[in-house]
Structure 1
């Protein structure tokens, strides 16, 4: 499952591109993210266990002092390029089958504790391979969320390279939007979805479960092949039924027929559906910025151009 550390890495890659520097490695971000929240948790536990001033306490300064933080090793890496057709960027809400190249948790985010437990299963090296999507949203002061870019791949990629590549591809190359400028950074939230449990293609367009499965469809009409996908959270966010989701997804792929004839078009086009799973995890800019300032002050990680 994706974690908030993955989202922090997406922010790190985007900010580094604006600042013309190398981003931290995923392993470094992961380590610092957990140290940051471990210190926060330790501080809260000390505060909750504090005794009144008129009572004696056996707690000493040594007992509550945060663990020492070592300086990060120096690493650098460059993103890898996708090399096969199945690893080409895929937009989750475009009308084409493919495209060219604060610590609090909000909706769609995981808690530090769940992030820690998730990383026990995914590991911390960044070498695990996953199909993945990176989504950028803008958030208004009134709390309204608007899509700003969402592109991913169904080809399993090494996590570090995949997140770095698609954090930037989603920000700069989603053809539905203009590239994200650095001035928009404070309004953004990053969402990462790691895809798992992909099924074999089925002819049944309703062989999936709302709220659990994302779906990827393909069909051919009059010599033209159509294809598109929705991540698992899309249908629930929109309040769609399964039929409404299929119609919307077919239209997203470019089909322009009547919504009442979708089933006939599906059958005529020999439609195929692949279902998959994956939970989107999100992080707001302010949460990333607080962590990044802490990283700079604690271990000397540069935080130039932080807004």
Structure 2
């Protein structure tokens, strides 16, 4: 199941791309997110400051504060931290600048055993970006994913950028828009062929359909939350999905088409810019003490 740390990692990946700096790794984000939510105040003494060398010229440098946070026994714990910023809220500030120490990420190989990449959890996944207006309206800004299982460290980062910059339905997301964004991550599971086109449940299953009509092959998908959000019945969702694939037949004739339907599951988890920014500011404050 997706987590808010996964969402924070997507924000971190996009912010790093827009700011042209190295991003924190998924391992670092997960550990720091857990520490932030479990124990907002870090009391570890930040000793040996004089031994720290500048990190700006070395992307593989790992700031000492990150090392201490990640080594802390509570860094892997889970918890909930109340926030004054609501999910999806935007602020007038931009992505912000980062110190030379905070903007550096250690390579993942420095943080996990060599064989951890092979053991890393893999999932088909989708990353969606929305802009949130001052009135709270959500507008899709990009959504792209894959049905091929990918390691989350590379898959989330890759598709966070692909959905932000390469969704041909929209222009690329800009730094100016960044404070208005909300990200949604869906990890897909439980793929199985449906007994028939109606063998699925609204709000539970996503659909992937493929069919041939007049010698032309079609295919398309809707994620598990789409039909429920749109208020569609099963039939309305199927017709819309066929239209999305490019089918131009009459609405009442959809049943004449031999549909191959795969159903799957996955819960979307969302995070707004405000919550990510508050976490990232906390990280920067910790690093500033180095």
TM > 0.5 between the two? yes
Residues 99-114 of structure 1: pairs in structure 2 closer than 5 A: 102=83, 106=87
Aligned to 1:33: 33
Aligned to 2:134: 141
| 1:292 Cα deviation from its structure 2 partner | 0.3
Q: Would you say the 8 A contact 1:7–1:283 is kept in 2?
A: yes
Cα distance in 2, alignment partners of residues 299 and 68 from structure 1: 12
Aligned to 2:244: 252
Equivalent position SS for 2:65: coil
CA shift in 2, pair 1:218/1:180, >3 Å: same
2:278 matches 1:290: yes
The superposition leaves residues 63-90 of structure 1 with CA deviations (integer Å, 9 ceiling, x where unpaired) of xx745386225xxxxxxxxxxxxxxxxx
Q: Would you say the 8 A contact 1:189–1:282 is kept in 2?
A: yes
Cα distance in 2, alignment partners of residues 186 and 104 from structure 1: 12
The superposition leaves residues 151-185 of structure 1 with CA deviations (integer Å, 9 ceiling, x where unpaired) of 00000000010001000000000010000011000
| 1:256 Cα deviation from its structure 2 partner | 1.1
Cα distance in 2, alignment partners of residues 246 and 301 from structure 1: 56
Aligned to 2:73: none
Cα distance in 2, alignment partners of residues 248 and 103 from structure 1: 39
Cα distance in 1, alignment partners of residues 43 and 156 from structure 2: 30
| 1:223 Cα deviation from its structure 2 partner | 1.9
Aligned to 2:96: none
CA shift in 2, pair 1:273/1:104, >3 Å: farther
Equivalent position SS for 1:275: strand
Aligned to 1:90: none
Cα distance in 1, alignment partners of residues 221 and 196 from structure 2: 16
Cα distance in 2, alignment partners of residues 211 and 146 from structure 1: 20
Match of 1:214 among 198, 202, 206: 206
Aligned to 1:275: 263
Cα distance in 2, alignment partners of residues 203 and 223 from structure 1: 24
Equivalent position SS for 2:279: helix
TM-score, normalised on structure 1?
Answer: 0.70
CA shift in 2, pair 1:146/1:294, >3 Å: same
Equivalent position SS for 2:212: strand
Q: Would you say the 8 A contact 1:203–1:272 is kept in 2?
A: no
The superposition leaves residues 201-260 of structure 1 with CA deviations (integer Å, 9 ceiling, x where unpaired) of 346111111111001000011221100000100000000000000000000000011111
The superposition leaves residues 14-72 of structure 1 with CA deviations (integer Å, 9 ceiling, x where unpaired) of 000011111100010011111111124xxxxxxxxxxxxxxxxxxxxxxxx74538622
Cα distance in 2, alignment partners of residues 129 and 68 from structure 1: 34
| 1:290 Cα deviation from its structure 2 partner | 0.5
Q: Would you say the 8 A contact 1:216–1:273 is kept in 2?
A: yes
Aligned to 2:65: 71
Cα distance in 1, alignment partners of residues 288 and 126 from structure 2: 31
Aligned to 1:51: none
CA shift in 2, pair 1:105/1:231, >3 Å: farther
Equivalent position SS for 1:255: coil
Runs of 5+ in structure 1 lacking a partner? 41-64, 74-101, 108-124, 303-307
Q: Would you say the 8 A contact 1:204–1:273 is kept in 2?
A: yes
Aligned to 1:232: 224
Aligned pair count reads 229
Aligned to 1:153: 146
Cα distance in 2, alignment partners of residues 215 and 276 from structure 1: 6
